[in-house]
Structure 1
Amino acid sequence: MSVIVEKPYQFIPPYRGNAWPTWIQRLHIVDFYLRRKDGIVGYECRNLESVAESLNKRDGILLAPNHCRYSDPLVLGWPARELKQHVYAIASWHLFNKNAFESFAIRRMGAFSLFREGNDRQSLETAIEILNNAERPLIIFPEGTTNRTNDHLQPLLEGVAFLARTAAKRREKQSGGSVVIHPTWIKYVIQGDIHAWANQALSQLEKPLGWQRTNGRTVLQRIERLATGLLSLQEIEYTGSVHPGDLDERRKRLIATLLQRTEAEAGVTPSAEPIPVLHRVRNLRTKLLPRLLATESETEKEKIRHSLREVDMAQQLESYVTGYLVPEECTDTRILETIQRMQEDFLGDVDTSLPLKAIIEFDDAIPVPPSRAPRGQVDPILIELEQRLRVLKDRLQHEARPFVDR
């Protein structure tokens, strides 16, 4: 799903009242929506008392969860209900432009917009104000985007630490209070049997390719064959031919081709240092979107749209993690995530009929110092946040069942 909205950005502030979020919680609307839309039928909160302790101290609380599914923000409504505490959340502006109902609903649940393709001072100031006043816990996804890989952590955005430090400095001056970050990991585990679902889902993916026979192939073999076929189609579309090499080499080569070509067209100077793919994607969108909105030439618009589609494809390819389905480490949830990613990318729709349970684990608070981060190095707050998230990830990935291929 593209995050590009072809109209000038307008900041959407959070709904400050309590009536709407209170009724949404009392009527369990989120439960109904998650069950019907995403197949999430239950949840479990762990170490929620650590957040309760920060609330009792009147700290400014920043909840920093991983982001593997579009359902993550709504899932965090469950611990909010147990705490009897409403929350705010930063949400990408494109989510407010899908349809009128969803825009209305997510704002009433505490979300406010962020323009990811530019400098959004209003959103930043709103987030700092929320933490400074300790109004409600604020949810920020430090990865910045989702990719359906529950056992993988993407590079964190530096802006999260900057925002938290700025709020801590302001809060110290105004009230003497503290700002804390609670690393949070959401782990989804399957409540049913993966094999029947996987075989049916793979058949639905194979059918548009004209593949009628599985010839006794196992689930992992069918996934690999499908991944090879779909990547070959993308190579032909974007480069004109299928390339040699193993699947991972070809995927990385296509990502590099797409980004290098688009960067050259956008006038981006190549960096001497390696830059994460997602950072390059964000940089390109920041450069291309203003040009798209500024030009009146339909020919030029279509050229820029084509470049943005190539950027989207690079991000889509990056979401398939190297070695994610290694047999000795593979779990049933990794199979589910990989097939659902293929469904989303190739069919545009995802089969959510397999029931899931969400485990939400909170880590103890990280106190945020009001001082500036050391210059010329990665912020120590960001380093600690990443380390804590990785510990949570490694612990919770064992909640899933090992996958026995057949």
Structure 2
Amino acid sequence: MSVVLGRPYQFVPPHRGNLWPSFIQTFRIVDRYLHRKEGVVDFECRGLDRWRESVDRGDGILLAPNHCRYADPLVLGWPARELRQHVFAMASWHLFNEGWLDSFAIQKMGGFSINREGSDRQSLEMAIGILADAERPLILFPEGTTNRTNDVLKPMLEGITFIARTAARKRAKTSDGQVVMHPVALKYLCQGDITSWANEQLSELEDRLSWRISPSDTILQRTVRVAEGLLSLKEIEHVGNVGTGDLPQRRDQLMRALLEQAESKLNLIPGPDIRDRVRTIRSEVVARYFARPHTSDETEALRIYATKADLAQELLSYPTCYLDRELATDTRIVETIQRMQETFLGTANVAVPLKVVIQCDDAIVVPPHKSARGEEDPLLGLLRERLTSMITTLSAEARPATQCGLA
């Protein structure tokens, strides 16, 4: 559960010195961490000259990457190292509660916290100030949360353009400089044949389901079948029976049921957007938890509501058609297996080696004026268009399942 109930939110500012990030980069500590914890063993940077041009101009630089893996913030340390740049990054509060070492490392590398369950003026002002002063490049993930779905961009949050435009106005008042936004596409590619790894991971999941597989079943068929079996278990756990319809329909039915169960207990009015409903539930849970002392039963009930919201958000990360035979790739199969392991086992096996391609796009100059009310910010639309185009192109570099014996 990513909702933090152990202690109330307290803003964590970034470390502003150069000694610690230089030490971490010089001794390749991030490289070893990514290899051991995330399975990312190699990288390739593309388009860094575009980032460098913005640095040379003295722009306030906002880096806006897609967010498909927990490794994303750290892999951006590689292009920063090649450019001899340190960066700042906004990070969810729960990441500062995973252990003292993780919290220490995130802060020393330039991370600062954001409260996703409530307003956080300090974090917003920090981000705006960094861009307005062109102190260092700032990493903001426009999707907000990670989803392990590398080839699909989730809906983006308007907060990123609010921060960018506010910083541009502030910078225009104090200097002749500008604020720019660089879309950054991250694409993870499998290094080598995944068959052995996938067989091992699927066999473990199938054993937990007490299944015996047919020798003729392909890796892709087994992955889809396990997804259906594990979804059935969650349906029985939360609604008491297996749903009807195809897999996407059952996924959507379970998401709605999970959210409605939590909302009814918390007396919340459902909205039209799944992510907004998840955010509202999580915010209400945190607000109630810290409003007054609770009995153990009341505390457990709040944890259950937050868990239901988290599961609904995780189910949203299983996109329709992602594993259709003609569309599936080796990386999509790996992502799905690891996502199932996280959802149903609590942790993913990261033994499959990955290479990440980090592609930086041309700078988008951020206008200082506000966007029109009641309409989508055109700056957000342009960012989505650029990211989608790069991700679509990079997705073709993965090996199709039909060509590597997986389908």
Which of the five TM-score ranges fits, normalised by the shorter chain? over 0.9
Q: Hey, what's the Cα distance between the residues in 2 that align with 1:154 and 1:125?
A: 26
After TM superposition, list the pairs within 5 Å mapping 1:2-401 onto structure 2. Answer: 2-271=2-271, 274-275=272-273, 277-298=274-295, 299-401=297-399
AA paired with 2:290?
L
Shift of 1:185: 0.6
The alignment partner of 1:321 has SS state of coil
Equivalenced residue count is: 403
Counterpart residue identity of residue 231, structure 1: L
The gaps in structure 1 that reach 5 residues or longer are none
Q: After TM superposition, give the deviation of residue 349 of structure 1 in Å.
A: 2.2
Compute the TM-score of the two structures, normalised by the length of structure 2. 0.97
Q: Residue type matched to 2:127 in 1?
A: A
Stretches of structure 2 that go unaligned for 5 or more consecutive residues are: none
- Aligned partners of 1:290 and 1:327: how far apart in 2? 45
Q: In 2, are the aligned partners of 1:6 and 1:293 still within 8 Å (CA)?
A: no
Write the distance in 1 (CA, Å) between the matches of 2:312 and 2:228.
Answer: 16
Query: Which shows bigger deviation, 306-315 or 341-350?
Result: 341-350
Task: Write the distance in 2 (CA, Å) between the matches of 1:39 and 1:242.
Answer: 35
Distance in 2, matches of 1:3 and 1:309, equals: 9
Q: Is the 8 A contact 2:3 2:306 kept in 1?
A: no
Q: Deviations over 1:188-224 (max 9, x none)?
A: 0011102121111100111122224444311122112
2:386 and 2:263 mapped to 1: Cα distance?
Answer: 34
Q: Is the 8 A contact 1:65 1:183 kept in 2?
A: yes
User: 1:79 & 1:110 partners in 2: Cα distance?
Assistant: 15
Aligned Cα root-mean-square deviation (Å): 1.2
Give the C-alpha shift of residue 100 in structure 1. 0.6
Over 6 Å off, 4+ runs:
none
Counterparts of 1:170 and 1:208 in 2: how far apart (Å)?
Answer: 56
Q: Secondary structure at the match of 2:396?
A: helix
Alpha-carbon displacement from aligned partner over 1:164-191 (angstroms, at most 9, x marks no partner): 0000000000112100000001000011
Following the alignment from structure 2 to structure 1, what is the Cα–Cα distance between the partners of residues 142 and 300? 32
- Comparing 143-152 and 219-228, the one that deviates more: 219-228
Counterpart residue identity of residue 295, structure 1: R
* Greater CA drift, 225-234 or 48-57: 225-234
Confirm or deny: 8 A CA contact 2:3 2:286 kept in the other structure.
no
Match of 1:180, SS state, is: strand
Assess if the C-alpha contact under 8 Å between 2:289 and 2:299 holds in 1.
yes
- d(CA) in 2 for partners of 1:40 and 1:225? 28
Aligned equivalents of 1:307, 1:349: Cα separation in 2: 21
